[in-house]
Structures are given as structure tokens and as C-alpha cells.
Structure 1
Amino acid sequence: MPPHPHRRDILRSALGAGAFFLLPRLALAQTGSPAAEPTPFTFEILKEMARTLAAHPYEPAKIEDDAVLEQVDYDAHNQISFRKDRTLWLNSGDMSPVQPFFPGRYFRQPVRIFTLEGGMATEFPFALDLFDIPEGNPARNLTHTHGFAGFRVQDAKSGRDWMAFLGASYWRTEGYSGQFGLSVRGLAMDTALANGPEEFPLFTRFWLEPSPNGEMTAYALLESPRATGAYRIASRRDKGVIQDVEATIFLRGTVERLGIAPLTSMFWFNKTNRFVSVDWRPEVHDSDGLEILSASGETIWRPLNAPPRNMVNTFSTPGVRGFGLMQRERDFAQYQDDGVFYDRRASAWVEPKGDWGNGTVTLVELHTEDETHDNIVAFWQPATPAVKGATFDMAYRLSWVEDCPVAPTAARFIATRIGAAGMPGEPRPENAVKLVCDFDGRGLEGLGPTDGVTLEVTASHGKVDKTAAFPVVGQSYWRGIFDLDFSMVPPGDDTPMDLRLFVSHKGAAKSETMLLQLFPSQMRKLLDAAP
């Protein structure tokens, strides 16, 4: 799938549009200029470059061709293609070829690209003749730009794109299925703060080092008004795309909400909140839940929402062993979309290397009314204050796979539905809903409906009633059900109702822990739709 900018990509890249950064002399000596001879490069040199930059004020450079770039809109950008014969590492055995992206309205910031061989870096300079540009396209008038917008990495045999870096510090991969979906980025800064705008750091330089076996290592320099960073992203393909990420981050300003290993996705509706949309498809989402593996080994499953207003939730997980935005629903019939194939979207799992210490997994859910915006962000927020002068050294493995790479040890929730409370044929209670939570039968083999398996449910407010758990007749999975009465909540009060539930047998937990967040306004909307 050629990663031409989808509307969501355009929007987030536009948000990431900051400025190009002028390097101090030390950094310039290491990066060179378009006509420079090869210069030594190591990850340590890149770290020192980022450290030196952090000691200097942020200096945005003027974009001289800004008026021309403004004319290179979505349609004009899609008319431009990189010339195949100028592809980096083309016909180099199993090495992954690379093609840079052309800049434009939504990708104004020049990104310089260097190739690495034997510890020496050589810049691959921008030039118009690297691209096929149709007559009449405003891109032909570009004269002062010295960088690209990003790059795509391709399969040596098929030419299929399997990874792309484009916009701010975002990147995507084809995952396990060849289908691009959610994104990750280098760093999140003050995401969804009520008192200020989010800052989007940029990857301004890349050093690319391919391997003969098709693997690709990308070194990246990150820059923003309040941060610099040195990144090493080593990527390989093995039943998905596996990336080992090392990052050293230097803060030149204080950040209230620092996000490490941020994941970005889209969630509009599924079985739980089908009523928020009039779309014809049963479900629309790139991911359907946040999964967290705590230091104790407990797995937390938090189904995603499209909330009535923007929400930020934090989950205290000292020594977190992993977290990710997952796509558990894999049945095409649940999406019916043969254009973008939501059933094939990869899950993304972050596995820390070493102990990250105290902190929280933070989940941001933004209100949306369609699928064109990435409205979900999840990241690790360290407890250590992110103050000016602070340094963070982080390492983690990022897996773009079908399912969580950590094998489950207990039953997992696979679907949640919501409807009116009560029983068929009887008057339905007002302001009460029924939750139906399906879970697989792992660890419950040989047990039946009378063997004492129970669904344990607690709620922050509201009344839980009529809980039950039983195997679904003729199926391999179980079902938990309960009623939630919120009649005591005043009509104007939309404080979210937080629920915690798990399956138990003889006093022992037999499932992961599911955390649900429901809103009285949305439940009333559901019930008001009844005839």
C-alpha cells in the first residue's frame, strides 16, 4: 500500500508542522552539507549532537519556498512520484530499497537523509530531478528546499512498502498483514492538556543503514522548542514488524505531560457503542482496546471509547512490563469493509527493556464523529518530573503484530455489548442498561454453569445487579452479564462511570481485569432510541 497521505495523515502532519532547526557548528560538522564528503557517524555522535542542540535556544529557520509549498496540496502531492531508477539500494540483493517523499503543504519541514556504510555518513541531497512531476504542477517551482518530507522502505522483491516515516516524528509499518493502520511517534509532549497546545517534535535528520537480510536501522535526530533526542530504530520482519528502539531525550524546557513510546490510533465505534453512529458498517476502528501488563503479571484490558468529550485516563503501573493498542476483533463480518480492511490492522505492543520505574500508562481518547481523525493516543508517562535540563534514556521493543506477543495466562474478554436492562416480556427499568461481556474459556475447561464461576463487578457509582457467568451453548467461549442502574445520576451529570470486572472461581481470578468507562449521556442516548 503506497503511503500517500490519507486525510488522517495530513491532519496529524499539519499539527506537527513546526520549523526547521539550525544546528550549532558542532552538529553541522557531523551532518555535513549536500556536497559534503562522507563523515564519521555513530549513535554516540548523534547523542552528542542532540545534547549540544539542547544547550542552545530553539532557532526555527525561515522556509523560503513556503508560498510554493502551500500550492502543493493533497492532489498535487499525489501526482508526484519518486523515480524508480533513483531509488536507494535498488537491485542490491535483499537490501530494502528506500524512496524519499516530496515536501508539500502538509510536509513543509525539510528532512535531510544520509546513507550509512562502514561507519561513514553521506548525505542524499534533495533535487527536483529525483521525482517525476507533471507539467503544470506547482512543485516544479520549488527552488530553495534542501530536504525531503520523509521516506518509505520497500520490500526488495515485491517493491511493496513495509515502513514509512512521514510527518513530525510519526512512522507506520505494514504490520503482520501488509495493511497500514495505526501509527507510532518518537515523543509526545503535553498531549490533550486543557491549558495549552500540544507540541509536536520533528525528526529533522535520518541516517539509514540497511542490512543484507532486508533489515533496516534508522537513526533519527528529534527536535522541538522544548526537546531534542537521538533515536536508533532497528527494524526487522518476523510475523509482523519488530523494532528495537533506543532513545536519549534532552529537555530544553519543562514538559507537563511527557509521553514515551506514544501510540496513535483511531476508534469510532464497535459493539459497545454502536449507537453513536449511523454508519452502515458494524464496526469502525484501527484498534479496539488498550492492553497493559503490570509488574505483578496482571493483564488489564481497557476497551476504547469515542467519548462525548475529550478524556484522559491514567493507569498507575510501576515497572510496567508492556502496553499496547490492540485490535482483537479479527472477523471481517464484524466490519464489512473491503476497502480499508479494519480486520487486518496490526496491534502495536511496547515492551520496555529494563525497569522503567514509577509512572503511568496514559490513555487519551478524543471525541470524534467519523473515522478521518486519529483520536486515540497511549503512552508511558514517567513519574520523574520532565523539567528543563532533564535527560531520559529509554529502550523498548515495538511489535506490530496480530495479537499481543505475551502469551495469555488467563481468560481474555473478546466482546462487550450494551442494551436495555431487564428481561424480555417484562417492563424495562428506566435508566438502566445491561452489559454482556464475552470471554474465552482459557482456564475454565471442564467447568459448567453450576460450578461456581462468577463475574465480579464493581462500579464507581451506580448500582450493579443480576450478575451471572456461564458458557455459551454450542460455542467455545463464556459470557458474563449484569445490569447497571444509573437512575440516581441527575440528568445534567455526565461524570463517567468506571467499572472493574473479572471472572473468578473458588476465590481465584480466572481472567484478565477489564476496565470499562461509560457515560450517562451516551447510555441515555441508547435507551432513548428504543421505540
Structure 2
Amino acid sequence: MLVRPTRRDLLKVIGAGGALLLAGAYSPLAFAGVRLGPRQRFSFELLREQARQRAAVPYVAPRIPDVDLLYGIDFDSIQKIRFKADQTLLGKPAGRFGVQLFHPHRFASKPVQIYLVEKDQARELPFSTDLFDYDTPGLAGKLADHSGFAGFRVMDPAPAKTDWLAFQGASYFRSAGVHGQYGLSARGIAIDTATPRPEEFPDFVAFYLDQSADEGIIVYALLDGPSLAGVYRFTCSRSRPVLTDVHAELFVRQDIGRMGIAPLTSMFWYGENNRRRSADWRPEIHDSDGLALWTGAGERLWRVIENPPVVKTSSFVDFNPRGFGLSQRDRNFENYQDDGAFYDRRPSVWVQPLGDWGEGAVQLVEIPTDDEIHDNLVAYWTPKESVRAGSAWTFDYRLHWGDDEPFVPDLGRVRNTWKGRHGIAGLSAVHAAQLAAGVKFVIDFSGGALAQLEQRYDLTPVITTSRGRVDQMHVLKVVGTDRWRASFDLYVEGTDPVELRCYVRLGEQTLTETWLYQYIAAPA
């Protein structure tokens, strides 16, 4: 939602205020481990003004102290630096969610300031090596004058030692969801993703942590980057699913070609639809297996994720979308066989716009990968209106971190997608020369009105293709299950992408969401 700048004069951020602590009262600012900075007046309005003022002047990249030393803190070294549990912040009184801090390292080297908030006051927690245990001799002494942390994580109440929310690296944050298993991440903003211009990664440069939320924590964040500055309020609830209400106000420094709102970042190497891309013994490896969309017009869509040969960007034009998300619908351990990464427990994330977002598009970026260590998926909303220097934008949305998308429709939903040799099973080899230009798709649906149906033969698959032709279209119930299977053969020449759609209906009644797939034939 575009907010036009006003003519009101810029307010000056007010400095330190008066006394706050009451004698004998607990306060999250009463932190004994390290001397806190001076008290400052704090409010969202003051933080917003800081962001506005930053955007009014040229961007200055943060200085990274000890950059050579931090580069030596690689993945193995990070594991040997531990935040001291007895220094946990905000964990009192009993039952509160504590906070532990991340040490800077090679992959998160830019300093982040951490402030503790109570009512209208905030105090900075300076970086101190006294907060960490180091297994590497001499490292603490070399970092004694470092200027910031790498981020923080929010812990479950003691005596639990688990965390459920983390902010670390550029504008990334994520939740472990209901199963305590981290997976995909959210980001504050995406700038020029998958465009000819280099992608920009603005940073959260300061966090203000507020314990006043009853079931979680409120995080205020200041964001800065070459193209914009911004201020965020995250109201994070330890519910089932975990909820994060996001209020973002953005001030644009320079024209932006593509601004991605509520971006999600995930990983898809291979699934049942493209196992031939695998070099691994495990049947499937992915954090997300599809993009779910609920359009402003009410249509429910399921776009199957692929691992394409080249970078692909798909746009789903919409007006005031009701929601979208990257989902991990497959919850069957047998389909992953991974007892370390537990891909079957990875959370799905649904973006629920709060208020009108106007015209724009949900975009899905798929990047080739040959390993599970790379995040190769991005999904976000991009407004139709151009993002010009001097403009201001406000967005509100809620993130649902759970097993499934919320607001499940009374429709059959996609459960599996397979593709393989077309024609009639057992006969294709005989007619290979005649059938060389085709591929078979098989889609399983379940739920909604389908659950009430016994086997019958008058359900119709409605299939459209952007090019080529389809044949052998069928819908049958899978014997002994609650699933209905649609199948068809696609005949197409060349390697240009083919956009496919399929849903099932009975007469004029739509029974399922719409399955979407972008098929790219392998070169001959």
C-alpha cells in the first residue's frame, strides 16, 4: 500500500529521558551481566523518524570491524562459541520467553545493535565477549572491542532449552513452528530478486526487544540498504501455529525495479515429480513442495515446485490477494527417510495480508540447485505501481508458521504429482518411436467434497496447456484410499516452458483447487 509523503517537518529524535525503574520492581532492563547503555526515549514513531532520516541521505555501508578475524569463524568454529545460558535476557519472571544472542561470524559479520525496551525507554546492550563461552583459545581477547551482535533467538520458558524464533543475517528471520524444526525463512524485504540488476540485501541494523506481549515477544527493527530504509514491528506469538504480525513502513532512497513484500525463502532439490535430478539415496529432499495461493477473486491454486535447468520467475497477477505461502504438504517420514534434517517436520509459512494491497503479483523464483545446502526458492508480493525514490510504503500482514495453510477450503487439494513415460503402462516401450514427444502427468487430490464420494466414473479433469496438446485424460478413485487420481498425457515439441492447469469437477461443480505446473522438456 503506497503512502504519500506529507509536508510535515521532520521530527528530531529525542535523547535520554527520565528515571524509569521502581524500587524493588522487576524490570527487563535490570540486566546484571553487562553494563547497559544510557536510557533513551523509545517509541515506534521515533524509530520511524530514524528510518525516514536515513532514507533522506545517501546510503553508508556499515563498517565491519574485525572482518578478517570474523571470516575465520566458519561453520565448525561457530559451533564452538556458545551464549552463556545464565546470561539469558528477558527470561524473568518465571514463564517468560528468554532471549539469547548470536555471535558474529563469517556468514553474519555485519554488526547489529540490540536494545532492551520497557514502556517508553530503551537501553543498548553492548557487545561483550563475557556473554559467550569460547573453545578457541585467545579468540575472546581479540574480539574484546567488537561493536555488535549477529542477531538473536527467542527461547521457550525455562527449564526448556529450545528456541522457537530467530533473527540473523541481513533481514532474515524464521520460526521452528509447532515441531521445533527450522526450515524456510522469511525476510524483511526483497530487492531486485532475479532481475538483470544485482540483488540487494538490506540489513536489520538494530533490534529493540519488548517483553510486554503476553504470549511471545515484540520486536522492533530498523532496516537500511542502498535503495531504502524502513522500520518494522513484529508481534510474535508462541501459539499453534506460531504467528508473526508484521507492520512495515518503507522509505525509498532510489528507484527500485522490483520490490518484494513479505518474501519467503526456501529450498527444493527434488521430490516425487523430479527424482531423476537426484544424486542422493533419500527419496525426497525439500523444505517446501508447493506455492499455495488464494486470490482476491477467491480461486485456490497450488503451484508445484520444480528445480529448473535455469532461473525461472513465474508471476501470478492479482488484486488484493487473500494469501499465499510456501508449503510442505508432504508430512510422511517414509517419503524422506531423513532422521537428521527431518524434512517431514519443516514448517509451512502462509502470508495473510491485513488490509488492501491493491494491484500486483505474487512471484515465484526457482533457481537451479544440485544440493540441499542452497536456498533456491523465493516467493513474494510485488506491487504493480512503480517504486520511485522519495515514495513511502506501508504493509501489514500476518505470517502463519504451521503444518498446513490456514483457511483450508472445502475443496480437494493436491497431495502428489508424478510425471513419467506417457502412453499405456507396459506398452509404451513397444510404441516408443510413436510416443517420443510426450509425457504423462499423474495428480492425486483428496479432501473437501471428494471425501464423501464413492468410486464413480463421471468426474472430469479440466486441463489447459499453453502449448502442445493433451490426451488420455482420466479421473478415478485410488482403491482403498480417500484419494482421487487425475492423469493425462502431454504432447509437445521443443524445450520452451509449458504452463499447465488442472482441476476436477462433477458436472458444473468444482471439486478441487487448481493444480499448476511449469513443464520444461529435456533437450533431445
TM exceeding 0.5: yes
Once the two structures are superposed, residues 267-307 of structure 1 have per-residue CA deviations (whole angstroms, 9 ceiling, x without a partner) of 01111111111211111100000001011211010010100
- Structure 1 residues 41 and 512: CA distance shift in structure 2, 3 A: same
Counterpart of 1:281 in structure 2 is 282
SS of the equivalent of 1:434 reads strand
Is 1:171 aligned with 2:173? yes
What are the equivalent positions in structure 2 for 1:112-131 lying under 5 Å apart? 112-131=113-132
Deviates more, 1:370-379 or 1:422-431: 422-431
Counterpart of 1:458 in structure 2 is 464
SS of the equivalent of 1:76 reads helix
SS of the equivalent of 1:355 reads coil
- Checking the alignment, whether the CA contact within 8 Å between 2:102 and 2:153 is kept in structure 1 is yes
Counterpart of 2:298 in structure 1 is 297
- Checking the alignment, whether the CA contact within 8 Å between 2:36 and 2:125 is kept in structure 1 is no
Query: Residues of 1 paired with 2:235 and 2:199: CA distance?
Result: 28
User: How many angstroms does 1:446 deviate by?
Assistant: 5.1
User: How many angstroms does 1:409 deviate by?
Assistant: 2.0
Counterpart of 1:221 in structure 2 is 222
Aligned residues: 492
SS of the equivalent of 2:307 reads coil
Is 1:309 aligned with 2:315? no
SS of the equivalent of 1:521 reads coil
What are the equivalent positions in structure 2 for 1:309-458 lying under 5 Å apart? 309-426=310-427, 427-428=430-431, 429-445=435-451, 447-448=453-454, 450-458=456-464
Counterpart of 1:529 in structure 2 is none
- Checking the alignment, whether the CA contact within 8 Å between 1:94 and 1:213 is kept in structure 2 is no
Counterpart of 1:182 in structure 2 is 184
User: How many angstroms does 1:423 deviate by?
Assistant: 1.1
Identity among equivalent pairs (%): 43
Once the two structures are superposed, residues 91-138 of structure 1 have per-residue CA deviations (whole angstroms, 9 ceiling, x without a partner) of 421211111111122221110000111221011111111111234253
Which amino acid letter does the alignment assign opposite residue 273 of structure 2? T
Query: Residues of 2 paired with 1:436 and 1:118: CA distance?
Result: 57
User: How many angstroms does 1:40 deviate by?
Assistant: 1.6
- Structure 1 residues 450 and 384: CA distance shift in structure 2, 3 A: same
Which amino acid letter does the alignment assign opposite residue 156 of structure 1? P
- Checking the alignment, whether the CA contact within 8 Å between 1:30 and 1:41 is kept in structure 2 is no
Query: Residues of 2 paired with 1:46 and 1:52: CA distance?
Result: 10
- Structure 1 residues 190 and 336: CA distance shift in structure 2, 3 A: same
- Structure 1 residues 230 and 521: CA distance shift in structure 2, 3 A: same
- Structure 1 residues 96 and 86: CA distance shift in structure 2, 3 A: same
Query: Residues of 2 paired with 1:235 and 1:46: CA distance?
Result: 19
Query: Residues of 2 paired with 1:232 and 1:165: CA distance?
Result: 13
Counterpart of 1:11 in structure 2 is none
Once the two structures are superposed, residues 175-223 of structure 1 have per-residue CA deviations (whole angstroms, 9 ceiling, x without a partner) of 1111111000100000111x22100010000000113744100000000
- Checking the alignment, whether the CA contact within 8 Å between 1:349 and 1:405 is kept in structure 2 is yes
- Structure 1 residues 106 and 451: CA distance shift in structure 2, 3 A: closer
- Checking the alignment, whether the CA contact within 8 Å between 2:293 and 2:301 is kept in structure 1 is yes
Query: Residues of 1 paired with 2:177 and 2:16: CA distance?
Result: 34
Query: Residues of 2 paired with 1:383 and 1:137: CA distance?
Result: 54
What TM-score do the two structures reach when normalised by structure 1? 0.89
SS of the equivalent of 2:179 reads coil
- Structure 1 residues 149 and 26: CA distance shift in structure 2, 3 A: farther
Query: Residues of 1 paired with 2:326 and 2:113: CA distance?
Result: 31
Query: Residues of 2 paired with 1:214 and 1:459: CA distance?
Result: 48
Counterpart of 1:483 in structure 2 is 489
Query: Residues of 1 paired with 2:46 and 2:135: CA distance?
Result: 41
Give me the CA root mean square deviation: 1.9
Which amino acid letter does the alignment assign opposite residue 462 of structure 1? G
Which amino acid letter does the alignment assign opposite residue 500 of structure 2? L
Query: Residues of 2 paired with 1:152 and 1:456: CA distance?
Result: 47
- Checking the alignment, whether the CA contact within 8 Å between 1:262 and 1:380 is kept in structure 2 is yes
Which amino acid letter does the alignment assign opposite residue 333 of structure 2? F
Which amino acid letter does the alignment assign opposite residue 406 of structure 1? F
Counterpart of 2:87 in structure 1 is 86
Deviates more, 1:141-150 or 1:300-309: 141-150
In structure 2, stretches of 5+ residues that fail to align are 1-9, 18-34
- Checking the alignment, whether the CA contact within 8 Å between 2:462 and 2:505 is kept in structure 1 is yes
User: How many angstroms does 1:139 deviate by?
Assistant: 4.7
SS of the equivalent of 1:51 reads helix
SS of the equivalent of 1:443 reads helix
SS of the equivalent of 1:368 reads coil
Query: Residues of 2 paired with 1:450 and 1:78: CA distance?
Result: 57
Deviates more, 1:126-135 or 1:303-312: 126-135
SS of the equivalent of 2:53 reads helix
SS of the equivalent of 1:396 reads strand
- Structure 1 residues 432 and 347: CA distance shift in structure 2, 3 A: same
- Checking the alignment, whether the CA contact within 8 Å between 1:177 and 1:344 is kept in structure 2 is yes
Deviates more, 1:389-398 or 1:55-64: 55-64
- Checking the alignment, whether the CA contact within 8 Å between 1:94 and 1:214 is kept in structure 2 is no
User: How many angstroms does 1:507 deviate by?
Assistant: 2.4
Query: Residues of 2 paired with 1:130 and 1:229: CA distance?
Result: 30
Once the two structures are superposed, residues 320-378 of structure 1 have per-residue CA deviations (whole angstroms, 9 ceiling, x without a partner) of 00000001101100101010100011100000001101010010000001111000000
User: How many angstroms does 1:59 deviate by?
Assistant: 1.4
